[in-house]
């Protein structure tokens, strides 16, 4: 069974919309071994980094907070700097799922995929989605425009593409990265 690490970047942790969304998507594909980490309740430490290194893929889930991802997700990205271009993430398939009330989620999705790609993660085709309160309300009313909205079931397609990407074996080339001390002070006043 392939191991999929789901990282919930919502400040609400296991109590919010992202946690409920994660519970729903875990039911779509029971052939995967899911491990969910609610970043609001977890320190970004060696054990979490080991989980990231040892899984077959990662799903990043976050809400939209003032046109950005949740603060626990930001903390994770800052603490993962030393993992950039390392075997722990290089070419590891990932997906991004963003929730929002009404606006801003697509920007969060695109920016987060960009950060993850630059870090070394593999972004398979059709591996990101935004699900909104507005879509949820609109989809309850049958109409001909329903296919234009991301739907919860689109997560099934994302999981299929993620599984296909987990089967890929590629020898990736990395750029040189300062792995000794990425936080050292470089600006002198």
Domains in the chain: boundaries:
2-166
| Average confidence (pLDDT) per 10 residues, the chain, 189 residues | 97 97 96 98 93 98 96 96 94 98 94 97 97 90 81 95 96 82 81
Ordered DSSP codes for the chain: -EEEEEEE--TTGGGSHHHHHHHHHHTT-TTEEEEEEEGGGS--SHHHHHHHHHSSEEEEEE--SSSS--HHHHHHHHHTGGGTTSTTTTT-BEEEEEEESSSSHHHHHHHHHHHHHHHT-B--TT-EEEEEHHHHHHHTS--TTGGGS--TTHHHHHHHHHHHHHT------------S-TT------
pTM of the predicted protein model: 0.94
CATH of domain 2-166: 3.40.50.360
């Amino acid at each position: 069974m392939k191991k999929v690490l789901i990282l919930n970047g919502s400040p609400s942790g296991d109590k919010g919309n992202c946690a409920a969304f994660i519970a729903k998507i875990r039911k779509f594909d029971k052939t995967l071994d899911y491990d969910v980490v609610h970043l609001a309740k977890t320190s970004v430490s060696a054990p979490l980094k080991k989980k990231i290194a040892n899984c077959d893929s990662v799903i990043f889930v976050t809400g939209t907070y003032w046109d950005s991802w949740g603060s626990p997700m930001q903390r994770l990205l800052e603490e993962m700097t030393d993992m950039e271009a390392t075997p722990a993430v290089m070419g590891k398939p990932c997906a991004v799922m963003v929730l929002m009330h009404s606006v801003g989620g697509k920007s969060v999705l695109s920016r987060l995929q960009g950060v993850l790609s630059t870090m070394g993660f593999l972004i398979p085709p059709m591996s990101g989605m935004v699900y909104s309160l507005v879509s949820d309300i609109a989809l309850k009313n049958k109409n001909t425009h329903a296919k234009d909205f991301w739907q919860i079931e689109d997560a099934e397609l994302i999981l299929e593409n993620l599984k296909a990407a987990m089967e890929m074996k590629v020898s990736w080339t990395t750029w040189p990265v300062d792995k000794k001390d990425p936080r050292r002070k470089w600006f002198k006043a």
